[in-house]
């Protein structure tokens, strides 16, 4: 570099890597001047010591994150981490670039945006995990309460999966961590009630009137907080008097080619907001599609993606649900029938976690056919296959909040396109991160304050400022509930917007 009169550093400066060569580049006299300036301005060496002046050797491994003797412990993982060379390899994908320390556009990282604390940041969690699995925090650090505190505020938004330059997937790592942690410490009643919801929902829905009293009888909310952990500051989703029954099950081979879809009724829309499934069914039928339902052989309850189990770290239970769902959907996938769902966190589990719970060709085939309601309609419209009789909105307005998983899987364009199928409807998307409810996260007494802070960062103020005649659109059930709790407005699923504008 000296021979050709070049520079040995550029945009990233000198630092640990190049400071060793300053004397060769600048000469000993200039180096002494550097030292004199440094010692005058910073006599105690507080500011960035060991850079420029008195630097170490560039290959001194004691300065590296992976020091001499670095070794990670073997963890009996329940998810497939082979794409990263193992769980440790996935954790070590974090290179400390700090892209997650941001407050501008994007999703990542909602807990940091709300707290400003490095501990509650993708990088902070990854570094703590790395130190724990390499034994630098003690022998049982990986399943310690301190580790749990570090992971607690991760809402599983998957923003880092998409926005981190190295693709750190902290949401998936949290599943693995919780699986190990729960084996050692057990599960709270709150987490157990949320996790097993899909299995007891059919029975619970029969006494919906009784369960809904929690938010009407004085003191009932307080009691549910003390006994169960559901914050009294929150209303709970109302059980529907009549759950969605789905369509009559059919033989997959009888489905008309190119004109049939499986509408996957998730637990939340089936038992709490069946009107969304009814609206989606009407819209798809109006567009000329035959809407069918897939059922497990036992027919005791609807299919389940396992999302609630994953959120609690109960990966084996989630795997059982994934197997049940895969077996029921495989004949439709083999027949070329699209699998369409309404709830982003549920449907997109088929494209994400299913592939590491049940790796294999059948899972890949299902992932390729699984689509959100809006993705399916946008795709059909782009292919020229969609005819949907919609009334003119006459310059109406829609304010759209994107679910975190819609953003993580690049589905926001699809929902915007689908809303714009309505003639004369002006669509504006809120520049927001996570709504803060994040499944059951915001109902937890321990998290309610942070949950509200997340919502107040941008989403809730934007909803409050919207005109009264603007329709608020949010496809996530927990997003809609956060909006209902934090504003005087009601948000609706995109399926209901299209249904409202149908020319019946």
Per-residue three-class SS string for 404-458:
HHHHHCCCHHHHHHHHCCCCCEEEEECCCCCCCCCCCHHHECCCHHHHHHHHHHC
What is the separation, in whole angstroms, between the first and last Cα of the chain? 75
SS3 per residue for 42-55:
CCCCCCCCCCCCCC
Q: Are 98 and 127 in a shared domain?
A: yes
Q: Are 41 and 99 in a shared domain?
A: no
pLDDT tens sequence across 155-171: 999 999 999 999 999 99
CA dihedral (196, 198, 200, 204) in degrees, to 10, reads 130
Q: Are 436 and 406 in a shared domain?
A: yes
Q: Are 143 and 114 in a shared domain?
A: yes
pLDDT at 12 > cutoff 80: no
Confidence of residue 52 (pLDDT cuts 50, 70, 90): confident
| pLDDT computed for residue 121 by the predictor | 95
Q: Give the lowest-confidence range in 55-64, 158-167, 185-194, 450-459.
A: 55-64
Q: Residue 109: inside a domain, yes or no?
A: yes
What span, in angstroms and rounded, lies between the C-alpha atoms of 101 and 95? 13
Query: Which tokens hold the place of 155?
Result: 């809402």
Q: What is the mean pLDDT of residues 290-318?
A: 94
Confidence of residue 37 (pLDDT cuts 50, 70, 90): very high
Pairing of strands 339-341, 370-372: parallel
Q: What is the mean pLDDT of residues 261-283?
A: 97
pLDDT tens sequence across 438-453: 999 999 999 999 999 9
Tell which of 185, 215, 244 closes a domain.
Answer: 185
| pLDDT computed for residue 313 by the predictor | 97
Q: Are 489 and 403 in a shared domain?
A: yes
- Sign of the torsion formed by the C-alpha atoms of 66, 152, 367 and 167: negative
pLDDT tens sequence across 91-148: 999 999 999 998 876 789 999 999 999 999 999 999 999 999 999 999 899 999 999 9
| pLDDT computed for residue 351 by the predictor | 98
What span, in angstroms and rounded, lies between the C-alpha atoms of 310 and 349? 10
Percent of the chain at pLDDT exceeding 70: 100
Q: Residue 494: inside a domain, yes or no?
A: yes
Where on the phi/psi map is residue 133: left (φ > 0), alpha (ψ -120 to 50), or beta? Answer: alpha
| pLDDT computed for residue 315 by the predictor | 96
Question: Bridge partners of 220?
Answer: none
| pLDDT computed for residue 61 by the predictor | 83
C-beta of residue 332 within 8 angstroms of C-beta of residue 300: no
Q: Are 53 and 107 in a shared domain?
A: no
pLDDT at 252 > cutoff 90: no
Q: Are 88 and 141 in a shared domain?
A: yes
Q: Are 28 and 113 in a shared domain?
A: no
Q: Residue 216: inside a domain, yes or no?
A: no
Structure-token match 């109006």, residue found:
286
Tell which of 185, 212, 231 closes a domain.
Answer: 185
pLDDT tens sequence across 358-376: 999 999 999 999 999 999 9
Confidence of residue 251 (pLDDT cuts 50, 70, 90): confident
Domain span at residue 163 reads: 82-185
pLDDT tens sequence across 63-98: 888 888 889 998 999 999 999 999 999 999 999 999
Q: Residue 37: inside a domain, yes or no?
A: yes
**Which residues, in sequence order, are CB contacts of 426 under 8 Å at separation 6+?**
395, 396, 397, 398
| pLDDT computed for residue 258 by the predictor | 82
DSSP notation for 316-338: HHHHHHHHHHHHHHHHHHHTT--
Q: Residue 420: inside a domain, yes or no?
A: yes
pLDDT at 205 > cutoff 80: yes
Q: What is the mean pLDDT of residues 203-215?
A: 97
Q: What is the mean pLDDT of residues 404-416?
A: 96
Is the preceding omega at residue 109 within 30 degrees of 0, hence cis? yes
Q: Are 397 and 431 in a shared domain?
A: yes
Q: Are 171 and 109 in a shared domain?
A: yes
Q: Residue 358: inside a domain, yes or no?
A: no
User: What is the pTM (predicted TM-score) of this model?
Assistant: 0.90
Q: What is the mean pLDDT of residues 217-237?
A: 97
**Which residues, in sequence order, are CB contacts of 431 under 8 Å at separation 6+?**
105, 458
Rg (CA), the chain: 26
Q: What is the mean pLDDT of residues 252-260?
A: 84
Question: Bridge partners of 425?
Answer: 396
- In the chain, the largest separation of any two C-alpha atoms, in whole Å, equals 87
Structure-token match 């949907």, residue found:
388
| pLDDT computed for residue 9 by the predictor | 81
| pLDDT computed for residue 256 by the predictor | 79
Q: Are 41 and 130 in a shared domain?
A: no
Domain count of the fold of the chain: 3
Confidence of residue 298 (pLDDT cuts 50, 70, 90): confident
Q: Are 54 and 90 in a shared domain?
A: no
| pLDDT computed for residue 352 by the predictor | 97
Q: Residue 258: inside a domain, yes or no?
A: no
pLDDT at 51 > cutoff 90: no
> What 3-state DSSP class applies to 384?
coil
| pLDDT computed for residue 3 by the predictor | 86
Q: Residue 443's domain is classified under what CATH number? A: 3.40.50
Q: Residue 24: inside a domain, yes or no?
A: yes
């Amino acid at each position: 570099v000296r021979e050709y009169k070049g520079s040995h550093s550029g945009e990233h400066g000198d630092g640990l890597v190049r400071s060793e060569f300053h004397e060769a580049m600048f000469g000993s006299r200039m180096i002494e001047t550097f030292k004199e300036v440094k010692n005058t301005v910073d006599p105690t060496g507080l500011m960035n010591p060991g850079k420029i002046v008195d630097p170490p050797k560039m290959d001194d491994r004691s300065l590296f994150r992976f020091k001499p003797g670095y070794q990670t412990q073997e963890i009996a993982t329940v998810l497939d981490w082979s794409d990263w060379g193992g769980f440790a390899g996935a954790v070590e994908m974090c290179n400390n670039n700090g892209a997650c320390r941001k407050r501008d556009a994007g999703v990542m990282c909602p807990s940091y945006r709300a707290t400003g604390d490095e501990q509650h940041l993708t990088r902070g969690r990854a570094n703590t995990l790395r130190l724990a699995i390499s034994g630098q925090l003690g022998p049982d650090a990986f399943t310690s309460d301190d580790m749990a505190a570090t992971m607690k505020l991760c809402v599983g938004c998957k923003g880092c999966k998409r926005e981190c330059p190295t693709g750190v997937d902290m949401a998936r790592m949290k599943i693995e961590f919780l699986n190990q942690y729960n084996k050692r410490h057990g599960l709270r009643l709150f987490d157990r009630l949320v996790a097993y919801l899909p299995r007891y929902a059919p029975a619970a829905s029969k006494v919906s009137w009784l369960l809904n009293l929690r938010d009407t009888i004085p003191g009932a909310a307080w009691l549910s907080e003390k006994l169960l952990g559901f914050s009294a500051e929150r209303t709970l989703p109302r059980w529907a008097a009549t759950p969605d029954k789905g369509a009559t099950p059919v033989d997959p081979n009888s489905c008309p080619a190119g004109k049939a879809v499986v509408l996957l009724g998730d637990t939340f829309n089936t038992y709490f907001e069946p009107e969304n499934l009814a609206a989606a069914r009407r819209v798809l039928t109006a567009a000329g599609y035959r809407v069918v339902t897939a059922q497990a052989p036992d027919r005791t309850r609807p299919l389940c993606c396992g999302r609630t189990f994953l959120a609690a770290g109960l990966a084996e239970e989630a795997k059982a649900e994934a197997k049940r769902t895969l077996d029921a959907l495989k004949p439709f996938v083999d027949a070329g029938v699209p699998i369409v769902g309404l709830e982003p966190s549920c449907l997109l589990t088929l494209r994400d976690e299913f592939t590491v719970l049940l790796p294999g060709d059948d899972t890949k085939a299902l992932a390729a056919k699984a689509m959100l309601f809006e993705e399916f309609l946008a795709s059909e419209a782009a292919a020229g296959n969609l005819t949907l009789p919609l009334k003119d909105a006459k310059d109406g307005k829609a304010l759209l909040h994107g679910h975190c998983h819609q953003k993580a899987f690049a589905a926001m364009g699809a929902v915007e396109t689908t809303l714009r199928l309505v003639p004369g409807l002006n669509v504006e998307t809120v520049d927001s991160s996570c709504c803060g409810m994040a499944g059951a996260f915001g109902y937890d007494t321990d998290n309610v304050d942070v949950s509200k802070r997340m919502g107040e960062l941008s989403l809730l103020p934007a909803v409050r400022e919207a005109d009264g005649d603007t329709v608020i659109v949010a496809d996530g059930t927990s997003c809609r509930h956060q909006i209902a709790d934090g504003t005087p407005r009601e948000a609706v699923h995109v399926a209901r917007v299209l249904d409202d504008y149908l020319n019946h």
